[in-house]
Amino acid sequence: MFLFDLNWQIQHFLNQFFWPINFLLVAILVILAYLSYKKPIYAVGLTIVLLPTYLFRSKIWFPTPSGAEGLPFTFLEVCIWVTFLGWLINSSSYKLKALNSKLKNYRWPILLILLSATISVFISPDKAAAAGLWKAYFVEPILFFVVLVNIIKTQKDKDVILWSLGISTLAISL
């Protein structure tokens, strides 16, 4: 279940509605999974609208030798993974070959950034925190970029993305 990383007054208020909010978040994930398989442009738009949900945090518990409590993640990260996996399942090998040609100009910059970020994880004194930042700031944005580059084809698709950014900005400004 997701916790809220907000100031204590807002967090105290939202904790009163913990289960309904978490039920709503799971419902949003189900809708996002359906959209990412059927209409990926709307799944990307919904993911963009949900950008402020990086404040909803949770952990996947697993035992580790160091005694770590679990792998932290945010609701936004789950949305990005659901969008990417739905798009990947829906994509045929033909679409993936076309993607390779679309990413041709971006391949080396992406690889260099990912390589330097990966090296920095291994030389970091706090490897767990570095791996979390690596996942959240490098891997997931690249996955989202891959989906975005592949699905934007028409002016209507660009309009969906711009409207999504506008709605997300409106939610933040309110």
Query: What confidence category does residue 64 fall into, taking pLDDT thresholds of 50, 70 and 90?
Result: low
**Residues of the chain with pLDDT > 70: what percent?**
86
Query: What confidence category does residue 144 fall into, taking pLDDT thresholds of 50, 70 and 90?
Result: very high
Q: For residue 74, give the 3-state DSSP assignment.
A: strand
Average pLDDT (148-173) is 92
pLDDT in tens, 71-125: 778 899 999 999 999 998 888 765 666 666 777 788 889 999 999 999 999 999 9
Q: Check pLDDT > 70 for residue 129.
A: yes
Q: Check pLDDT > 80 for residue 4.
A: no
pLDDT in tens, 10-27: 878 888 888 888 899 899
How do the residues of the chain divide into helix, strand and coil, expressed in percent and rounded to 5?
75, 5, 20
Q: What's the CA gap between 21 and 14, in Å, rounded?
A: 8
pLDDT of res. 93: 61
Q: Check pLDDT > 60 for residue 59.
A: yes
**Residues of the chain with pLDDT > 90: what percent?**
49
Q: What's the CA gap between 17 and 143, in Å, rounded?
A: 32
pLDDT of res. 43: 95
pLDDT of res. 141: 94
CB atoms within 10 A of CB 56: 22
Q: Check pLDDT > 60 for residue 68.
A: no
Q: State the angle between helix axes of 140-151 and 93-102 in degrees (0 to 180), rounded to the nearest 10.
A: 100
What pTM value is reported for the model?
0.85
Average pLDDT (21-48) is 93
